[in-house]
Amino acid sequence: MTILSIPRRGFMLCLSSPSGAGKTSICSRVLDLDPQTTLSVSVTTRPMRPGEVDGEDYFFVSSDKYKEMVANGDLLEHATVFNHGYGTPKDFVFDSLSMGKDVLFDIDWQGTQQLSQLARTDLVSIFILPPTTQVLEQRLRTRAQDPEEVIQLRMSEANQEISHWAEYDYVIVNNSLEHSVAQARSIITAERLRRTRQIGLTHFVNGLRGIE
Amino acid sequence: MTILSIPRRGFMLCLSSPSGAGKTSICSRVLDLDPQTTLSVSVTTRPMRPGEVDGEDYFFVSSDKYKEMVANGDLLEHATVFNHGYGTPKDFVFDSLSMGKDVLFDIDWQGTQQLSQLARTDLVSIFILPPTTQVLEQRLRTRAQDPEEVIQLRMSEANQEISHWAEYDYVIVNNSLEHSVAQARSIITAERLRRTRQIGLTHFVNGLRGIE
């Protein structure tokens, strides 16, 4: 057995932040740079926004289909935000973990709490904070398609989301995208090196010690 | 408050491995590359080896002085290995942690266990494994000053040390020094980003949310 083949179990990595603090950019850079990570694509009942792609940003489903998935237990977690349903398809996640892939979740505190109750040992959570309130507001305002009342609602929602920072394992203050991406990647590297995730180690060590 | 000034508490990083698996080289590279880390220098009653420096490799002390330090509670942990006493001076470690420095320990499983019982939340532990038994034996044999019976004793001691791998938080298989150093540094970066170590975050988040 070479060291490269020591089997490991993947983990779920939840990244949460108030909208505008940069978690989606961080996620997308990590996914680009690290082929051992994959994104969990949620289902949602909210309407598609300009530029969004079905099956990439979300699986856009009807309210009836969503209720059916909830009833069948097809969703690992689900939550209602701004009157729309959001949920995580279950099979994709568990299949990825057992193949040693790490699944990234771009979800809010409600989703993270639900995942945490379901699978604490498989879960790693990172909260992304903006460096200042001004930066957060600025970032929210550059989404030109949103009217002022939506921005105000988002600011208040951001404040709510931030109030859950202390439920997370790690906290990154996103002052620079590249620096935050490097920090997220260090967390991923470290979590892979955890003894408990390297499920092939017992076999490997027995080999080293001449015990078969 | 800028993000660079968010106060954090340091942690103790124990690196253990059978002798010859490379932990001393990894430690020394990490210390060179990362100014926020510092090495805990142990006291020992064993004789100085050629090339060793008092106060750098160890503080070399007499058996009487060692017993006095144990009796006074000046040592954070201590253990006897090959009939010689080894111990960690306490004040240096706690002062470093409260200044936000991370203290590296190049110690064996006994020392790690004692530290773990004393200060679980401040402790991070990494076990370094050799990639193969052959590599381990080869590395032990290149220390030219040791006679054959010492090498055999070390091999048996190595096997004993390896048997404690499962008591550690992280495991690194040291196939390449540079790769292992990078992995150790990722673990250090991740551990610094743990919410619980960033003790200034509550104040920072209150500022973000306009609560003072």
Please say if the pLDDT value at position A2 is more than 50.
no
Give me the domains of chain B, ranges plus CATH numbers.
3-43+101-208 (3.40.50.300)
**What whole-number percentage of chain B has pLDDT above 70?**
96
| Cβ distance of B132 and A169 shorter than 8 Å | no
What pairing do the DSSP bridges indicate for beta strands A37-39 and A123-129? unpaired
Among A123-127, A145-149, B69-73, B100-104, the least confident range? A145-149
B19 or A171, which is more confident: A171
CA distance A70 to chain B (A): 33
In this predicted complex, what is the ipTM? 0.87
pLDDT (0 to 100) of residue A183: 98
CB contact under 8 Å between A195 and B166, yes or no, is yes
Q: Which residues of A touch B159 (CB under 8 A)?
A: 209
When pLDDT is averaged across residues A85-112 and rounded to a whole number, the result is 92
Q: Model confidence over A59-85: pLDDT tens digits?
A: 999 999 999 999 999 999 898 888 999
Task: For residue A94, list its beta bridge partners.
Answer: none
Checking if the pLDDT of B112 tops 70, the result is yes
- Minimal C-alpha gap between B138 and chain A (Å): 14
Give the lowest-confidence range in A12-16, B85-89, B129-133, B149-153. Answer: B149-153
Does residue A10 have a pLDDT over 90? yes
Helices B177-193 and B23-33: angle between axes, nearest 10 degrees: 60
Any alpha helices (H) in B47-170, and if so which ranges? 63-72, 90-98, 109-118, 133-141, 148-162
Interface of B with A (CB under 8 A): 3, 6, 126-127, 129-133, 136, 159, 162-163, 165-166, 168-173, 175, 183, 185-187, 189-191, 193-195, 198, 201-202, 204-205, 208-210
Looking at every residue in chain A, the average pLDDT score rounds to: 91
State mean pLDDT over A5-32: 92
Q: Which of A12-16, A23-27, A134-138, B6-10 has the lowest mean pLDDT?
A: A134-138
Whether residues B173 and A132 touch (CB distance < 8 A) is answered with no
Q: What are phi and psi of A6, to 5 degrees?
A: -65, 115
* pLDDT (mean) for B119-136: 91
Contact between A81 and A161 (Cβ < 8 Å): no
Task: Evaluate if residue B25 carries a pLDDT over 50.
Answer: yes
Task: State what percent of residues in chain A have pLDDT above 90.
Answer: 67
Give the containing element (helix H, strand E) for A202. Answer: helix A201-208
Per-residue tokens: A50? 């300009």
Interface mutation target, options B11, B195, B202, chain A, most CBs of A under 10 Å: B195
- Nearest CA to B183 out of B13, B35, B41 is that of B13
Stronger pLDDT, A183 or B81, i.e. the higher one: A183
Measured distance CA(A11)–CA(A124) in Å, rounded: 7
Checking if the pLDDT of A3 tops 60, the result is no
Whether B120 shows a pLDDT value over 80: the answer reads yes
Q: Could you report the per-residue pLDDT of A129-162, keeping only the tens digit for each?
A: 999 988 888 877 776 677 888 888 888 888 999 9
